[in-house]
Amino acid sequence: DVKVTQSSRYLVKRTGEKVFLECVQDMDHENMFWYRQDPGLGLRLIYFSYDVKMKEKGDIPEGYSVSREKKERFSLILESASTNQTSMYLCASSFSAPNYEQYFGPGTRLTVT
């Protein structure tokens, strides 16, 4: 079974803190993705990576950065957390060939106070 794991299910951080969310996949997928999910807005792509050390901006990259030092691991970084970054964060991975489904992690519910 494909497994995508995320470092935390729930996180509570203060405004201005640096926040790290980690994602690990065990299927040797080339692509990894970070989304945020908010009620009524669906899934919005923050960043994705198609190879180690490679990254591309998604639809809403402002306030976020990412790191991919190893193929199986993709980190999302909130440099200075703000209350409008309170959300559910989902990591996903997939093969690089076109038209393959994504596999999702369980999500991290982040609350910034």
The answer to the question of residue 43 lying near another protein (CB under 8 A) is yes
Q: Is the CB of residue 24 less than 8 Å from the CB of residue 5?
A: yes
Q: Which stretch binds another protein (CB under 8 A): 14-22, 33-41, 69-77, 78-86?
A: 33-41
Nearer to another protein, 35 or 80 (CB): 35
Nearer to another protein, 28 or 42 (CB): 42
Nearer to another protein, 62 or 98 (CB): 98
By CB under 8 A, what part of segment 84-113 binds another protein?
A: 90, 92, 94-107
Residues of the shown chain interacting with another protein in the complex, contacts defined by CB under 8 A: 4, 31, 33, 40-43, 45, 48, 50, 90, 92, 94-107
